[in-house]
Amino acid sequence: MENSSKIAVLGAGMVGTCCALYLQREGYAVTLVDRGGAGEEASFGNLGGFGIASCPPAAMPGVIKKVPGMLFDADAPLKIRWGHAARALPWFIRFIANSRIERVEANAAARQSLLDKVHEGIDPLIADANAGHFMSQTGLMFTFESEAAFQGSAYAFDLRRRNGVQLDLLDGNEARQVQPALSKNVVRAYRVANFSHTVDPMRLVKALATLFEQRGGTMLRRTVTGFDIGSDGVRALRTTDGDVAIEKLVVAAGVWSRQFAKMLGSDVPLEAERGYHTMFNGADVKMNGAIISVDRHVAITPMNEGIRVGGVAEFAAPEAAPNFAVAKLVRRHGEALLPDLKSERITEWMGPRPSHPDSKPVIGRSPRHGNAYFAFGHDHLGLTMGGITGKLVSELVTDRPTSVDLSPFRPDRF
């Protein structure tokens, strides 16, 4: 199908790259604009999981009692830079409001409506890009090192079950039969057999971007500073190297989307929830699938280049210098969970998850400008939800009924 309309996608992370590919499939002349290379920001260093079992939102019942203590505990999974506290306060007030049980249930159901379509969204793109070698379907295990942690997460796992997630309950020995390297301290586990992960998140995005270019798409390396907006909507991107005329726009710039949404008249509470990873390059511990430690709030994934351990939510400006003491905390958790985990070459990374207080992305048309669309705020699930988000954006742009009800993801819901 040919479509002469010029559409720009701002941001070549996982989300923007998938949007660009789906719009290209509709016949649009698409330009994918990024100040850097594809997949080099938040999409670079994630844990690679296609998180189909992650419908529970971050704000869960009882979180209000846990947050204050966590902020003063150096080993806690939640951190805030004090210089950023005043800016983040309105976000936290909304976050706490989202921990009410009826909001939790609704937020989980909305997340699940996207999670149900993860493979419908991403698999065709991976197949077209011949990128199947970046994928592994070896399952996921949630581990618990105490009965208290197991009992304490009963509601979260019930929520998963009620949203259709298939979970097998294992005792510690059964867990070690699947993952022999696992610490003896693990007493319980849930396994999700049909879970897949990528063994190289950044190269997966680059493979998708290569497909986009091979199919005639334009990659433009520019820093976008704003828009030329007329009575008919957005007319051009303003960039540090001049204007780029466009007919339609998709904002998919991860955590940096907040400023662009604001320029388009939408005030969204998007914050950088910065996560860290430690990469054990060349580690030869055998892992059968990914692990999420519920007690330690870290995930561990076997990747092409070694074993990656990551986690932590640090609220700070996206550009603030990383605090790699956090990556060392994450590392200690990994070593405790897999006692034989070692590497001669450790590397560390920080990346900003784009997070809304209700743990749902914004996917929709700009309320103010009919030719602009938003696709951002996928917090812990941007890799997972990128493909289906791209598909939904293409349905919106072509004025077709969307395959998921997008009302929970409206930009003006806040």
Binding interface with ligand FAD (CB under 6 A): 11-16, 33-36, 40-43, 46-49, 51, 223-224, 252-254, 256, 275, 277, 310, 351, 353-354, 376, 378-384
Nearer to ligand FAD, 264 or 383 (CB): 383
Instruction: State how far the Cα of 333 lies from the Cα of 247, in Å rounded to an integer.
Output: 49
Nearer to ligand FAD, 91 or 176 (CB): 91
Sign of the Cα torsion 282, 319, 37, 218 reads positive
CB 148 → ligand FAD: shortest distance, Å? 26
Nearer to ligand FAD, 233 or 318 (CB): 318
Quickly count: other Cβ atoms within 10 Å of residue 4's Cβ.
8
CB 340 → ligand FAD: shortest distance, Å? 23
Nearer to ligand FAD, 353 or 391 (CB): 353
Nearer to ligand FAD, 60 or 252 (CB): 252
- Those residues whose C-beta lies under 8 Å from the C-beta of residue 346, and which sit 6 or more positions away, are 278, 279, 280, 281, 331
CB 147 → ligand FAD: shortest distance, Å? 27
Is the separation of the CB atoms in 141 and 290 below 8 Å?
yes
The percent of the chain in helix, strand and coil, each rounded to the nearest 5, is 35, 30, 35
At 346 the three-state DSSP class reads: strand
CB 218 → ligand FAD: shortest distance, Å? 14
State phi, psi for 9 to the nearest 5 degrees. -110, 120
Nearer to ligand FAD, 277 or 331 (CB): 277
CB 74 → ligand FAD: shortest distance, Å? 19
End-to-end CA distance of the chain: 37
CB 108 → ligand FAD: shortest distance, Å? 16
